[in-house]
């Protein structure tokens, strides 16, 4: 993070204003793509052959563990009803749902939420900072990276005392999440000429939507403006000015 701040201060003008570290980010992105192609995706494809009830149960188990920290973040953001609902989800699923394997809480009308410390910092007015691509973890920004450090510090999976259990659970959770995205990466490749720019634009807009609960303020995306400039013919007046 210190390196990112230092490079940001030295970054020159040009390119996407939220991505002053684009050369470094593209290098990390390329590494992630290769790691995914040769290791992570093949593991996810093998895991995807598991019976659907098994995959759903695994996802529910880890999702139930996450509900506690999600509830804390909802409370920190002032969303007390959602925070109490998250606590209720954890109690119901941990008992009636057999340690969260079965998502009984959703059937009872307790909605699943998705909050983290990065979103909480955003709600508190902390700016997102420069866009970053983290090794293996992918798209982020300076604020969300700081938030991720806090999320990992309280992660119940990483607090398992047994090293083998901790590593196995962490790997299973990672592969399970990757298997849920099979097909999404193909869509991104088909939808964009530059997948890096596509993922950057998607992440920036997606995180803003999460922070504002689906009602973000309207802002222009430099990636969209660049696409318009390349595809939209210039008006006669603009042509005269350019001449």
**Of residues 77, 165, 80, the one with CA closest to residue 124:** 77
Beta bridge partners of 141: 131
Q: Which pLDDT belongs to residue 5? A: 45
Residue 15: per-residue pLDDT: 80
Per-residue pLDDT at 9:
43
pLDDT of residue 117: 98
pLDDT at 21: 96
- pLDDT over 70 percentage in the chain: 82
**pLDDT for position 233:** 53
Check if the beta carbon of residue 156 is closer than 8 Å to that of residue 166.
no
222 C-beta neighbours (distance < 10 Å), count: 17
Question: What pLDDT digit, counting tens, does each position of 4-51 carry?
Answer: 444 444 444 458 899 999 999 999 999 999 999 999 999 999 999 999
Residues 6+ apart with CB under 8 A from 170: 157, 158
Residues of the chain with pLDDT under 70: 1-14, 187-188, 191-192, 219-243
- What separation in angstroms does the CA of 76 have from each of 69, 99, 178, 212, 221? 10, 26, 29, 14, 29
């Amino acid at each position: 993070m210190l390196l990112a701040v230092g490079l940001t201060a030295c970054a020159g003008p040009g390119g996407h204003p939220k991505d002053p570290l684009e050369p470094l980010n593209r290098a990390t992105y390329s590494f992630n793509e290769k790691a995914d192609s040769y290791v992570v995706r093949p593991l996810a494809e093998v895991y995807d052959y598991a019976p659907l009830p098994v995959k759903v149960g695994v996802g529910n188990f880890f999702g139930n563990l996450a509900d506690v920290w999600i509830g804390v973040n909802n409370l920190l953001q002032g969303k007390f009803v959602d925070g109490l609902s998250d606590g209720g989800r954890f109690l119901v699923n941990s008992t009636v749902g057999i340690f969260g394997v079965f998502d009984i809480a959703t059937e009872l009308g307790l909605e699943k939420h998705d909050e983290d410390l990065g979103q909480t910092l955003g709600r508190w007015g902390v700016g997102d900072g420069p866009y970053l691509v983290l090794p293996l973890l992918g798209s982020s920004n300076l604020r969300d990276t700081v938030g991720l450090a806090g999320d990992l510090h309280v992660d119940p999976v990483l607090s398992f005392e047994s090293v083998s259990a901790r590593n196995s659970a962490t790997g299973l959770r990672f592969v399970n999440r990757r298997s849920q995205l099979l097909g999404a990466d193909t869509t991104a490749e088909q939808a964009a000429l530059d997948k890096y720019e596509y993922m950057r634009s998607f992440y920036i807009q997606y995180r803003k939507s999460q922070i504002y609960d689906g009602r973000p303020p309207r802002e222009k995306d430099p990636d969209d403006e660049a696409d318009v400039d390349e595809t939209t013919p210039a008006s006669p007046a603009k042509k005269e000015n350019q001449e």
